[in-house]
Homo-oligomer: A and B are copies of this chain.
Amino acid sequence: MLTERQLLILQVIVDDFIETAQPVGSRSIAKKGDVNYSSATIRNEMADLEDMGYLEKTHSSSGRIPSERGYRYYVDHLVSPEQTAGNVQIIHNIMQDGLFEFEQIVQSSAEILSRITNYTSIILGPEVFETKLKQLQIISLSENTSVAILVTNTGHVEHRSFSVPEAINASDLEKMVNILNDRLYGVPIFKLHDKLNTEIMNLMNKYVTDFETSYDYLKAVFFSENPVKLYFGGKTNLLMQPEFNDIDKVRSFYSMIEEEDEIANLLKGASDGVKVTIGHENKVDAIKDCSLITATYELNEEQMGTIALLGPTRMEYKKVIKLLDTLSTEMSEVLYKWYQDNE
């Protein structure tokens, strides 16, 4: 168990290192007002803290830096999250102010987040669970090309152009779209596939002559897999951090950032609330000296997506934790309002 004094010293060291990125020596701690002991006493405590694994030295006679365990303890017990009023305002404004498409909200959130923090932000787009079909349509562009448009109650628009094969009859297509609109209005997007394969299937046979070809085709056009989407902000922010002075670190980091799948997986498993993952706690090698902070946003208790912030382990946890917290609840709120409006 750590004594009061040890806690204090640990905290001071972490805070100091987060600020300066330099190893912290006993003398510099003693000079600050916070700890009223001599440098020798502090040295002894630091040695103990090192034995317990909370601190490290970069070399045998250097000052101390926090170990990952030290950060862990700091985050779990010592940090007192702060909130800058200005940031709350900024976030609030973005969220409320005339943005009516989720894509936009998410993208601006990512950007604002990275701008405020100077880290890299990643947002895992909302799963489309609660969005419902508003309208399908097909607009013919020329003899053999058309564009299919799908609108959801959240104002999301999917579209896709395609060439219409000879085999498919234009009026069949139209009939089919009409039927689909009739039957699928208000159906949640994630249920579309099921519904199509059961109910609708039978119904269609009656009305449409060359049923199978058209139907398969239509399905391909409208309901193609849309993979989870990632939104980034400040991808190059981390370049400015001194821990990235090593060009090779930069290289491995950015080759990993390109692997969207890997990142999506990282964020996908996020648990509720704000969670901090430090250094090697991360599975992925390229961010083993980064910290990842995640928060989730939700709708009706149902998790919709993840907001994440990626920075050096020496991250300003103090500011960042609360920030993610407010942003995620703010997003959940906006989501909720929508849901009510567009039920």
Contact = CB atoms under 8 A, between A and B. Distances in A.
Interface of A: 98, 100-101, 134-135, 139, 141-145, 147, 149, 151, 153-155, 157, 159-163, 235-236, 239-240, 244-247, 250-251, 254-255, 257-258, 341-343
23 contacts: A98-B162, A100-B161, A100-B163, A134-B139, A141-B153, A141-B155, A141-B341, A142-B153, A142-B342, A142-B343, A145-B155, A145-B342, A149-B149, A155-B159, A157-B157, A157-B159, A236-B254, A236-B257, A236-B258, A239-B251, A239-B254, A244-B247, A250-B250
Contacts of A235: 235
A159 to B, nearest CB: 4
A257 B255 CA distance: 17
A1 to B, nearest CB: 43
**Which applies to chain A's interface (DSSP): helix, strand, loop or mixed?**
mixed
Given A134-B141, A141-B153, 13 more contacts: A100-B160, A100-B163, A101-B159, A101-B160, A141-B341, A142-B153, A144-B341, A155-B159, A159-B159, A236-B257, A245-B247, A246-B247, A247-B247
A275 to B, nearest CB: 28
Contacts of A147: 100-101, 151, 155, 157
B145 A100 contact: yes
Contacts of A250: 239, 247, 250
Nearest to A342: B142
A141 B258 CA distance: 36
A157 B149 contact: yes
A294 to B, nearest CB: 24
The 10 A-B residue pairs with the shortest CB-CB distance, nearest first, are A155-B161, A100-B161, A157-B159, A236-B254, A142-B341, A142-B342, A147-B155, A101-B161, A141-B342, A139-B151
A25 B141 CA distance: 62
Contacts of A144: 341
Given A139-B134, A157-B149, A251 B245 contact: no
Contacts of A244: 247
A95 to B, nearest CB: 14
Contact of A240 (B134, B145, B157, B251): B251
